[in-house]
Structure 1
Amino acid sequence: MELMEKAREFENRSMSNMSTSDRVEASREAKDLVLSLNEIYKQNKDPEIMDMMKIITAKKQKIEKRLKGRPEI
């Protein structure tokens, strides 16, 4: 599956030294990957696909946390 290869490539990609626009692009790519994988998961309930979605979602959350920054007090 081409989609699983894209997901593995995203999972192994380094997220250090990214600009803000790179982070936004990576976050959008992660969202697209998860939604596409979810459509496939609905059909065949493969646990490997669910694990990949969890990994990508965790990475996406880290990227978004970095985008939002720390709240100022």
Structure 2
Amino acid sequence: MESTIEKAIEFENRKFSFKTTSDRILAAREAKDLILEINELYKEKKDAKLMDLMKRLTVIKQKIEKRLKGRPLTATS
């Protein structure tokens, strides 16, 4: 249990300067895995700190995914 939380905190504090798209994909997957693991712990313990950690990781994951998807093409006439 502690190792999952430690991994999540380490992930959260990591500097995100992704050089390649594959780096971003791996980071998004890692974030998703951590969120799911913490969610399992949260189901057992109902600790608000775990929920806050999941929310922070979700924000990071969403930012990474936004970069992956890129900007939508705008219609020009």
TM-score range for the pair, normalised by the shorter chain length: over 0.9
Percent of pairs with identical residues: 60
TM-score (norm 2): 0.91
Which of structure 1's runs of 4+ aligned residues deviate more than 4 A?
A: none
Which residue of structure 1 aligns with residue 69 of structure 2? 68
Determine the C-alpha separation between the residues in 1 that align with 2:20 and 2:48: 34
Contact 2:18 2:24 (C-alpha < 8 Å) held by counterparts: no
Which residue of structure 2 aligns with residue 38 of structure 1? 39
Note the C-alpha offset of 1:17.
3.9
TM-score (norm 1): 0.96
Structure 1 unpaired stretches of 5+: none
Contact 2:38 2:50 (C-alpha < 8 Å) held by counterparts: yes
Q: Kindly indicate whether structure 1 or structure 2 has the higher relative contact order, using CA contacts under 8 Å at least 6 residues apart.
A: 1
Structure 2 unpaired stretches of 5+: none
Aligned residues: 73
Determine the C-alpha separation between the residues in 2 that align with 1:20 and 1:67: 7
Deviations 1:14-72 (A, max 9, x none): 11243110000000000000000000000010111001000000000000000000001
Work out which of the two has the higher radius of gyration on C-alpha atoms and give 1 or 2.
2
